[in-house]
Amino acid sequence: MAPSTGVLVLAATPIGRVADAPPRLAEELATADVVAAEDTRRLRRLTGDLGVTVSGRVVSYFEGNETARTPALLEALLNGERVLLVTDAGMPSVSDPGYRLVAAAVEHDVTVTAVPGPSAVLTALAVSGLPVDRFCFEGFLPRKAGERARRLGALASEERTMVFFEAPHRTEAALGAMAEAFGSDRPAAVCRELTKTHEEVRRGPVGDLVTWAADGVRGEVTIVVQGADPTAGIATDADSLRAAVAELEADGTSRKEAIAEAARRAGVPKREVYNLVHGAGERA
């Protein structure tokens, strides 16, 4: 009889203070058959701080060997073993190693679960003071200036709050590119060394943050940028509103939906746009 499949556990690790480790982390570290760690030296420090002895096999699993090591970890899962995946900080597979193993496990009907816990993305978003009802995570921006500018240019009209990771030595350049793409007045926050002793959150227009970053930035950096104002720059005169509806209809949108979308973008009542389109009135 073939053995039942094992379980892949993605475990969040502290992004700063070890006291923030989720309670289940110590139990999983102590009982897993295999612990796959982004950095085995950091794992030793973490287990020492938690007072945990790892009883299973420890293997490295990082960007450089992720592709090569995934088959062996998948085999362990298919043989019924419990595999625990941890990265240097935060949740595995979120801008960290793990996605390939998760995808392989799902493809083979292996159970995948998680030990929830610290997340730089959510922590930065929560303390930023920017809208949190809708957001998107963009990870690290391209290192090359041209590619970075194109990526940010494509996000210029993104209405959700955006969260980015950045290296400290590239923070000034990243903020400068954001000022170019989004405008220097776009509200943002730079969150540095979250939950650590020297935690710092700088809030303000992107242009001001570029000036601040010029003096040098240290530590782990997460940047939060407010999304585009959907009503900014949208004319609300009668001709512009009619043109907006016509453009949406030309793209295949129904008349009803086009009126609603044009009204939303312009920040005016739908009834007003409806009357203009159907010739029932003019804006004063």
Residue 1 lies in a domain: no
Clarify whether residues 24 and 97 are in a common domain: yes
Q: Which two tokens stand for residue 270?
A: 């739908």
Clarify whether residues 22 and 84 are in a common domain: yes
What pTM does this model have? 0.79
Contact 61, 36 (CB under 8 A): yes
Q: Please give the average per-residue pLDDT across 207-231, as a whole number.
A: 94
CA distances from 155 to 141, 149, 204, 213, 259 (A): 12, 10, 19, 22, 25
- Pairing of β 111-115 and β 135-140: unpaired
Residue 32 lies in a domain: yes
* Tally of domains within the chain: 3
pLDDT of residue 234: 66
Residue 87 lies in a domain: yes
The 10s digit of each residue's pLDDT in 72-114 is 999 999 999 999 999 999 999 988 899 999 999 999 999 999 9
Tell me how far the alpha carbon of residue 90 is from its chain's centroid.
Answer: 12
pLDDT of residue 279: 79
Residue 205 lies in a domain: yes
Clarify whether residues 71 and 135 are in a common domain: no
Structural domain boundaries, residue 250? 238-277
Q: Strands, DSSP E only, in 193-241?
A: 200-205, 221-225
Q: What is the CATH number of the domain that holds 22?
A: 3.40.1010.10
pLDDT of residue 3: 54
Average pLDDT, the chain: 92
The 10s digit of each residue's pLDDT in 126-184 is 999 999 999 999 999 999 999 999 999 999 989 999 999 999 999 999 999 999 999 99
